[in-house]
Amino acid sequence: MKTWTKEQLKAFLDAVKDERLSPLWHTIAMTGMRRGEALGLRWIDVDLEAGRLSIRRALIPINRDVVVSEPKTAKGRRVNAIDPGTVEVLKAQAARQLDQQHKWDRAWIETGLVFTAENGAALDPESVSRYWRQAVKKTMVPTIRLHDLRHTHATLALQAGVHPKVVSERLGHATVSITLDTYSHAIPAMQEEAAALIAGWCSRGAEAGDRSARPPVPHDFLEFGGRADTRAVRER
C-alpha cells in the first residue's frame, strides 16, 4: 500500500483539474469510494442539496464483461457526506454531462451514471485504471494505484483525528478492527499526539494544584443546570 500526503494529493488534483476524469479522481479522494463504487454511482444516489451520496452498487469487471455488483455486506451500503468543494465539483460534472448529451443527441446512451464516457456509456473499470496511470505519470507526484487513492483518503482522515469508527463507516468496512488493522501505519502519529496531549493536560493540572487537576465537570452536569445526572455518568 502506498499513500500520498495531503500536499501531494492537492498537487495532483490541481494538476488534473481541467481533465475530463478529474471529477472522478476528486470524488474518490474525498469519499474513499472504491473504483467500482464510483463508476456505479448514479445521479439518483446523489443529493447535492444535503451534501450526501448513497453507495449502493459497483461496476465490476469479470473477464471481458462489466457487471453490476451489490455490496457484499450491510455496511457496504452506506451514505457518505461530501464537503462543499465536492458538491461544486459534482454540480460542474452534471452541467458538463448535460452539454455532452446535447452534443450526442440521439446517439446519447442514457445510463443515469455520474461518471461516463463522452456518449453516456458506462466506463470500463480497467480502462479507468489505465487513464489513472497516465494522469499520475504526467504529474510530479509519486506513482500510486487508483485503489491507493482510497487508502490515501483513509490515512489522511485518521491522521487528521477523525474517529476510526467514522472512517470505517465511510469506507464500508464490516468492522472498525478491519480499518485499524489496514491503516495501522497511521496509528503511531495518533499515539504520539495523544501522548503529548495527555502529558500537557497532566502537567497543567499539577501546576494549578489539586483542585484544578480534578477531572472536568461531566457534560451532564452542565446540561442539567448544575445538577449532575449521576446515573448517566455511572453508565458511561
d(CA 188, CA 191): 5
| pLDDT exceeds 60 at position 235 | no
| Mean of all residue pLDDT scores within the chain | 87
Which residue ranges form the domains of the chain, and what is each CATH number? 6-146 (1.10.443.10), 186-234 (no CATH)
Tell me what pLDDT residue 212 has. Answer: 52
| pLDDT exceeds 50 at position 227 | no
pTM over 0.85, yes/no: no
Strand-pair category, 52-55 with 58-62: unpaired
d(CA 170, CA 33): 8
Tell me what pLDDT residue 230 has. Answer: 42
Tell me what pLDDT residue 210 has. Answer: 57
3-state secondary structure (DSSP) of residue 177: helix
Q: How many helices (H) and strands (E) does the chain have?
A: 11, 5
Query: Own/partner pairs for 26-29, CB < 8 Å, 24+ apart?
Result: 26/86, 26/89, 27/82, 27/86, 27/89, 27/90, 27/114, 27/115, 28/146, 28/149, 28/150, 28/153, 29/149, 29/152, 29/153
Helix 22-31, helix 6-15: angle, nearest 10: 160
Do 16 and 139 meet the contact criterion of CB atoms below 8 Å apart? yes
Query: Over pLDDT 70: what percentage of the chain?
Result: 84
The 10s digit of each residue's pLDDT in 44-71 is 999 999 999 999 999 999 988 899 998 8
Helix (H) or strand (E) holding 221: helix 219-223
Q: How many residues does the chain have?
A: 236
